[in-house]
Structure 1
């Protein structure tokens, strides 16, 4: 009888560990999926618009202005939304969702010479938005963060900003 109770207790503990491990693992993978989708969408959009732009108008360490095929200027930068969440923005549209926040957003342009294509380095980190909670107070399975970086060459030439 004692052996049966011991075996049953062991099976119950092992089963609950397996159940909660699967539950927390699933939650973590959903968080990472959300972070990855947002980061890849922003990177894909930035790359495509820079490659196909007519020219790079202005470039600083945290913003980039390009002239698109339609002749309109587009400004990419890090912008805080109404809730104070840092998001990558293109003019007035956000490229990242409200469930994630962006940090360490950096842009660097090289080969800024008239008549030459520009190389644009972009890097940023995206993590899931935890609300008003301090990161130290949140369990590890509730946090997710990924870094993204790329170097894009424009297909067209650099054009100095006209004032």
Structure 2
């Protein structure tokens, strides 16, 4: 009887293993990249959303109060300022201004009942002080007609982000005419 020399392959060659490990590594790196990019994008979206919600609330509140006020009490000379005082329908006085709250500069409403902050502690107007903050209020007299008020400001997240990609800010502007 003739003896047969039969070889059985019970494993993989070195090249097959290297190719498989390389492909699996690339897929792993790709999955990690997608995960980190998605998480950074979600963080940025949340920060921008927070700034926009704060700004829209503050702007809407100021707009409603000024529009429904009797008249502007503070000087209305057409120049830019960081505050404005109005007389409400109930004859009370309200001032909208920048207020320093610790290291933050926030938009606030000040009346006989005290100060009510219109922006949260997660955003700031920026600047070294309220005079250099982004809050700008202009009041233009209209010769016998109700005054024309312009309000503009920018809000940005507090702190300095590690990555410029994470920096979130939003700008707001509106023009208001008094009804009364």
- TM-score band w.r.t. shorter chain: 0.7 to 0.9
The runs of 5 or more residues in structure 2 that have no matched partner are 1-16, 126-132
The partner residue of 1:3 within 10, 19, 35 is: 19
- CA distances 1:109-140 after superposition (whole Å, capped 9, x unpaired): 11254x4211101111100111xxxx4x6312
Does 1:109 pair with 2:128? Answer: no
- CA distances 1:24-83 after superposition (whole Å, capped 9, x unpaired): 1111111001000000000000110010001111146111000111110000011101x2
CA separation in 2, counterparts of 1:112 and 1:87? 30
Runs of at least 4 residues off by over 6 Å: none
The runs of 5 or more residues in structure 1 that have no matched partner are 157-163
Secondary structure of the 1:104 match is: coil
| Larger relative contact order (CA 8 Å, sep ≥ 6) | 1
- Aligned position for 1:160: none
CA separation in 1, counterparts of 2:150 and 2:51? 21
CA separation in 1, counterparts of 2:89 and 2:146? 15
Which entry has the higher C-alpha Rg, 1 or 2? Answer: 2
The partner residue of 2:63 within 47, 52, 61 is: 47
The partner residue of 2:105 within 66, 76, 86 is: 86
TM-score if structure 2 supplies the norm length? Answer: 0.79
Given that 1:64 and 1:107 are in contact with CA atoms closer than 8 Å, whether structure 2 keeps it comes out as yes
